[in-house]
Amino acid sequence: MAKVLEVENVTMQFGGVVAVNNLSMVVNEGEIVALIGPNGAGKTTAFNVITGVYQPTNGRVAFREETIIRNHPQGKMKKLYKGEIGEYYTKERVLAPTPDYITSLGMARTFQNIRLWKTQTVFDNVLIAKHHQSRHGFISAMLRLNRDEEKAQRERVRDLLEIVGLSDVQNELATSLPYGKQRRLEIARALAADPKLLLLDEPAAGMNPQETEELTEFIGEIRDKFHLTILLIEHHMDLVMDISDRIYVLDFGKLIADGTPEQIQNNQRVIDAYLGVADDA
């Protein structure tokens, strides 16, 4: 099975605080993989490293078996470094691509807090994201030399909104939608980039049980319809256990377990650190 994402020995240190410590994990093609753990465990920090928002203090990230991110402790961090294996990667060239470059490779993400363009319609929110793939520049757009491309993009947005069940509200302001549909729109906007890997940061945050159930089904559907590989952070354990092929568990920045949902549910270290034990009643 081909590796879509490989995170190798990644440490992210802020001053004296080690937010992620020597994290390694693999996401294979077609999988839905969850990254779980208590608040402050380093999950979103890991996402920010993978997507180029942060340059890791140490470690390597490969996308579709090509190294895209790599770093090692430098300057003052050589003395401050508290993570493991700081001697790794010191002989390798530093790679620190920007988030937009990583997106162009085929990786897209959503965020914990919904980040829609509030003054734009549902349609325009997705269309703006689609413009990231435009081959024409600003001057061509001003002179309307990109008409064919713009028409094709608009047709693609209409098709996408139909697939995700938002075509009936495409002309409404994004912020006028119910919360569950705003989450769905944010995912649709990420899909507009035609990603191979979709990273979802707490997609069920703030949802009621019915919305969470609908989202669980929706994530499975888009995985199949768009031939996606998905890495998600989530606190709703019903969603995680229902949909994940494999799960990684972080605690205080360290990986403490990985395995299938059944293995994670029965892992005593994970139960003690995060899942807890249901009361007998």
What pLDDT digit, counting tens, does each position of 144-195 carry? 556 777 788 899 999 999 999 999 999 999 999 998 899 999 999 999 999 9
The span from the CA of 281 to the CA of 270, in Å, is 22
Question: For residue 134, what pLDDT is reported?
Answer: 56
What are the tokens at 165? 């069940």
- Average pLDDT value over all residues in the chain: 90
pLDDT grade for 278, boundaries at 50, 70 and 90: very low
Query: Rounded mean pLDDT of 107-132?
Result: 86
Confidence of residue 117 (pLDDT cuts 50, 70, 90): confident
Order of strands across the sheet with 246-251? 107-109, 197-201, 229-233, 32-36, 246-251, 254-259
- Strand, coil or helix: 164: coil
* Band of pLDDT at residue 131, cut at 50, 70 and 90: low
CATH architecture of the domain 1-106+195-281 equals 3-Layer(aba) Sandwich (3.40)
Beta strands in 3-76 (DSSP E): 3-14, 17-28, 32-36, 58-63, 66-71
Mean pLDDT confidence for 217-232: 95
Provide the residue ranges of all domains of the chain, joining segments of one domain with +.
1-106+195-281, 115-194
**Structure confidence at residue 46 (pLDDT):** 97
The residue written with tokens 């319809």 in the block is 225
Rounded CA gap, 204 and 199, in Å?
13
Q: Which helix (H) or strand (E) holds 181?
A: helix 179-191
pLDDT at 233 over 60: yes
pLDDT at 237 over 60: yes
What pLDDT is attached to residue 151? Answer: 84
119 falls in which pLDDT band (50, 70, 90)? confident
Q: Which residues of 130-139 are buried (b: 16+ CB within 10 A; e: fewer)?
A: beeeeebeee
Query: CA-to-CA distance for 182 and 164, rounded, in angstroms?
Result: 12
In whole angstroms, give the CA distance from residue 127 to residue 205.
Answer: 25
pLDDT the model gives residue 146: 64
CA angle, 22 then 230 then 260, to 5°: 65
